[in-house]
Amino acid sequence: MAQATHPEDTSDAGPVTVTVNTVEVSDVKAALAAGWADFKAAPAFGLFFSAVYVFGGIAMVYILLATGKSWATLPIIVGFPLIGPFAAVGLYEVSRRLQCGEPLDWGGVLGVVVRERSRQMPSIAAVILIFFLFWNFLAHMIFALFLGLQVMTNVTSSFGVFLTPNGLMMLAVGTAVGAVLSFVLYAITVVSLPLLLDAEVDFVTAMIKSFSAVTENLGVMLVWAAIVAALLVAAMIPAFLGLFLVLPLLGHATWHLYQRVLTVSGA
């Protein structure tokens, strides 16, 4: 298990060694239980950080609908959860402090989140943003390739167009492309974000270690991915409001899963 270090204590940090461990489904269950315990121990922080994400999602969809671009809502809704891990950085810090017995004060927690702007977090945030934008570009391109000639059909009100051969092919291709992009983004971020908070490593190394952790524990990490996806989809159905519970749970649980998947030494 990784040793929890303080993100500010980097002046005397030596070379960091990150080792990928073998985990089992029981580790996923334990991480979820620990995550729920953290949320119950500090619910105000969980609700605060999830509110940023929830109201951001609501505002994004509202803007699309208000500007008459409702056709773009679907890829936005599908792609929006992909930026969720970055929104949970504050939750990782809360879990770290609870684990180390450090005080939970707003200034300290928010200060750590703000200080991440001068470390490696902005770089990996840019990678997440590029994935998000690239997915939206591909979604529009796939739509144009298969349904771009349906000029006489309003796809926002005539859903029958999706049952045509072109519509079904578009759904199949879009689903396949989205699945590949989602897996790659998941693999490079699932434990890289808490690793960046916990140790002084560069974002490329963090992504590589995260990808290795997924490929070396593929079955277990796919179970975790399925749990994350199912909870996020269920939480988004009631106008994103379920995320007030799900996002803190997943954020805290991700910290504990990270500590089971990776061992950090020398930090």
DSSP conformation letters of 71-134 = GGHHHHHHHGGGGHHHHTHHHHHHHHHHHHT----HHHHHHHHHHGGGTTHHHHHHHHHHHHHH
- Whole-angstrom CA distances from 249 to 13, 228, 245 are 31, 10, 6
Whether residue 191 is predicted with pLDDT greater than 60 in this model: the reply is yes
Q: Which two tokens stand for residue 89?
A: 């950085």
pLDDT for 2? 45
| pLDDT interval class at 194 (50, 70, 90) | very high
| Lowest mean pLDDT across 10-19, 110-119, 190-199, 229-238 | 10-19
Does the pTM surpass 0.75? The reply is yes
| pLDDT tens string 147-172 | 766 555 555 556 666 677 777 888 88
pLDDT for 10? 45
Residues making up the chain, counted from first to last: 267
Whether residue 9 is predicted with pLDDT greater than 60 in this model: the reply is no
| pLDDT interval class at 219 (50, 70, 90) | very high
Which of the listed ranges 67-81, 140-154, 168-182 does the model predict with the highest average pLDDT? 168-182
Cα of 192 vs its chain's centroid, Å = 11
pLDDT for 255? 96
